Copies of this chain bind each other. A is one copy, B any other.
C-alpha cells in the first residue's frame, strides 16, 4: 500500500520539509514529534476559504504546499489583497497571539496542503523554548516591515509603478515555470486587488507593458520579458 505509506510519512512533522522554514526551525526533534501528535493535516481546494475575517482561529496553519491570499473587505464591499502566504510559512499567528478574531480572510489560490496546530499546544512550545518564541517574534516583525513598506508604496507610488513591482515580486517570490510564465496564476481582478486599483486599469496597464515589450500575455499566463525595464518602472 504505497498510498498508505505516503500518508503515514506525511503525518510526521519531524520529516516534513516545512519544519526547516518559519519559526518552526527552532523546534527540536522531541518537540516536532509532540507536534505530530497534536496537528491535523488538511487538504484545501483552490478557492476554498481557510478562515474568514472576524473568525476566531485558535491555532496556526502551517502551509506544506500551495499559496493563499490574505484579504480584507472594505465597508463598500471591495476586496483588497493584503499579502500572499506560501509554502513553508505560517498562517493565523497574529490572530492567535493577540487573542483576537482574524483581521484578514485567508483563501486558497491553489490546491493546498496545510496542518493545523492548536493554540494550546503552541503556547506550550512558547513557554519551554525561548528560541521558538524569538523566531516567531522575528517572523512577525518581518511581516510588520513588509506591511509598513507596502503601505508606503500604496501612498507614494502610482498604479503603474505598483503593477511593475508586483509582477517582479510574483516572479521572484513564487517563481516561474520553465516557459518563463509566472507560477501563480491570478485573475486580472485579483492582480488589481493586490495593487489596489480597478480591474480595467490593471488590464490596461498590462496591455501597455505588453506593447512596450516588458511582458508577454497569453490567457492568464504572464511572463516577464524585460525585467530591467519593469524594475525601472517600479523604482520611479
Contact = CB atoms under 8 A, between A and B. Distances in A.
A28 to B, nearest CB: 17
B80 A138 contact: no
Contact of A127 (B126, B130, B150, B196): B130
A217 interface: no
Interface in A93-110: 93-94, 97-100, 103-104
Nearest to A140: B140
A1 interface: no
Contacts of A136: 137
A156 interface: yes
A147 B148 CA distance: 6
A148 B76 contact: no
Majority secondary structure, A binding face: helix
Nearest to A162: B155
Given A147-B148, A148-B72, A155 B196 contact: yes
B144 A80 contact: no
Interface in A126-158: 126-127, 130, 133-134, 136-138, 140-145, 147-152, 154-157
A148 to B, nearest CB: 5
Contacts of A144: 94, 140, 143-144, 147
Given A97-B134, A154-B155, 18 more contacts: A72-B149, A72-B152, A74-B152, A76-B156, A82-B152, A93-B141, A94-B144, A97-B141, A98-B141, A103-B145, A103-B148, A126-B133, A130-B133, A137-B137, A140-B140, A140-B141, A150-B151, A154-B196
Interface of A: 72, 74-76, 78, 80, 82, 93-94, 97-100, 103-104, 126-127, 130, 133-134, 136-138, 140-145, 147-152, 154-157, 196, 235-236
